[in-house]
Amino acid sequence: MKIKIIFFGTVMLLALGFLIQSRADKSSQPEKHPDADFTMSCRECHKEITPDIYNEWAGSGHGKMNFGCYMCHGDGVEEFYVKPASDNCISCHSGQEVDFSKSKFDNCFDCHQGHSLTFHNE
């Protein structure tokens, strides 16, 4: 019985490790936010730390709708993506679906800037 439990536990740990690993591979970054006081919101702090990024976001369609930094970067503690993927965009922008397998682009952000949402050449 005991052996069974240990075996099961090991399998679970391996499975978990695999999940975490494949998540990490996807973005291939050691995704960790620098140490910060997370009792403050992303915006409050980044308004001071990275004012250009804050202002671009605040003036964008996302900022105006109050769709915050977490939408792309995660909550900073449990999940953090330095270079966000764009796989959840379609939940709101269904009209914009792109079949990236048929495109030379991999990502919505190849064309749209993450914060202003304008095109890279603008």
Find, among 100, 103, 44, 93, the residue nearest to 68 by Cα.
Answer: 44
Nearer to ligand HEC, 5 or 39 (CB): 39
The correct pick among 34, 66, 94, 99 for binding ligand HEC (CB under 6 A) is 34
End-to-end CA distance of the chain: 65
Sequence-ordered list of residues with C-beta below 8 angstroms from that of 50, at least 6 positions apart, any chain: none
Query: Binders of ligand HEC: how many residues, by CB under 6 A?
Result: 48
Is 116 a binding residue for ligand HEC by CB under 6 A? The answer is no
Shortest distance in whole angstroms from residue 8 CB to ligand HEC: 35
Determine the Cα–Cα distance for residues 81 and 28; give it in Å rounded to an integer.
10
Three-state secondary structure call for residue 88? coil
**In the set 27, 46, 55, 59, which binds ligand HEC (CB under 6 A)?**
46
Q: Phi, psi (5° rounding) for residue 112? A: -100, 135
**Which residues of this chain interact with ligand HEC, rule CB under 6 A?**
33-34, 36-38, 40, 42-43, 45-46, 49-50, 53-54, 57, 61-62, 65, 67-73, 75-76, 82-84, 86, 88-93, 96, 98, 105, 108-112, 114-115, 117
